[in-house]
Amino acid sequence: MTKTFTVPNISCDHCVRSIKNEVSEVTGVQSVVADAASKVVTVSWDAPADWDQIKSLLVEIDYPPQELIQL
């Protein structure tokens, strides 16, 4: 599964690193790609990870996902 979404709280490369480091620790997450300039994040995962788990983590670390982008 893959989702691409915006995270308005991204303001710098430190934010990008925080998101990548935290989300990558979720069991099942395959990749995390984030861009500070566009504030867009793409996460790919397999079970046992799921979107609710990833979304909850992002909210917890103060980078709540906003608009989902359909590719």
Residue 44: CATH number of its domain: 3.30.70.100
Contact (Cβ atoms closer than 8 angstroms) between residue 19 and residue 10:
yes
| Domain boundaries, position 34 | 2-69
* Cα gap 51→13, rounded to integer Å: 24
Global pTM?
Answer: 0.93
Q: Write the pLDDT tens digit of every residue in 10-40.
A: 999 999 999 999 999 999 999 999 999 999 9
User: Who contacts 16 (Cβ-Cβ below 8 Å, separation ≥6)?
Assistant: 10, 34, 35, 36
Confidence of residue 71 (pLDDT cuts 50, 70, 90): low
- Total count of domains within the chain: 1
